[in-house]
Amino acid sequence: MDLKIRDCNLNDLEQLLDLSFYTFYETFGEVTAKESIDTYTKNAFTRENLTKELLDENSNFYFVYFKDKLAGYLKINISTSQTEPMGEEHLEIQRIYLKNEFQGLGLGRLMIEKAFEMAKKYKKRFIWLGVWEFNYNAFNFYSKMGFEKVGRHDFYMGAEKQTDYIMEKDLLKL
C-alpha cells in the first residue's frame, strides 16, 4: 500500500521537529512575514515543547507516509489538552501538515479519517480545528470532509494577529 499512517513517540522527536519546521515554513512562508514565522516556530517547535506534547496522555501525533517517504503529520488533542475549551465531547485536530509534494494524493483524507477513528475510540461526538481565514485550499478541503464553520478566534503568528475560522464536524452526521 502506498499510503501509511503510524503513531509517533519520543524516538521520533528529531524527525517531528524537522518536519514541523519544514511544513510550517512551506505552508505559510510565502504569505506571512518571515520574522513572524521565525518567532512562532522558535517558540512552538522546541525540543522541550514537542517532548512535552509527545508525553501528554491527551495528545497523539501520527506520521503519514507515501511510498515509505515521510510526507506529513497529524496532531490531535482531547480533554484539557485542546487549545480552546471546547468541552469533553470534542476532539481537536491541532496540526495537520503535508509537504507540498505530497498534496493531492489522498493523505489529507487519510489523516482526517484517522482523527474520525480516534474520536470514535475516545467516544467524542465532535471534531474541531482552526484554519487560517486566508488558507482557502485547507478551508475547502475541510468543507468537503464535512466540517462547518462555527466560529472564529485570534491566532498570533509572532506579533502578527491573524484570524482562524473554527470548523467543526458532528460525527453523528457521518
Instruction: Please give the positions annotated as active site.
Output: 142
Nearest 5°: CA angle at 41, between 105 and 161?
Answer: 95
Query: Phi-psi region for residue 87, left (φ > 0), alpha (ψ -120 to 50) or beta?
Result: left
Residue 86 CB neighbours (<10 A):
19
Q: Which three cell numbers stand for residue 53?
A: 506534547
Place of cell 514541523: 20
Alpha-carbon gap, residue 26 to 41, rounded angstroms: 12
Cβ atoms of 21 and 38 closer than 8 Å: no
Cβ atoms of 171 and 124 closer than 8 Å: yes
Place of cell 525540543: 47
Residue 85 CB neighbours (<10 A):
7
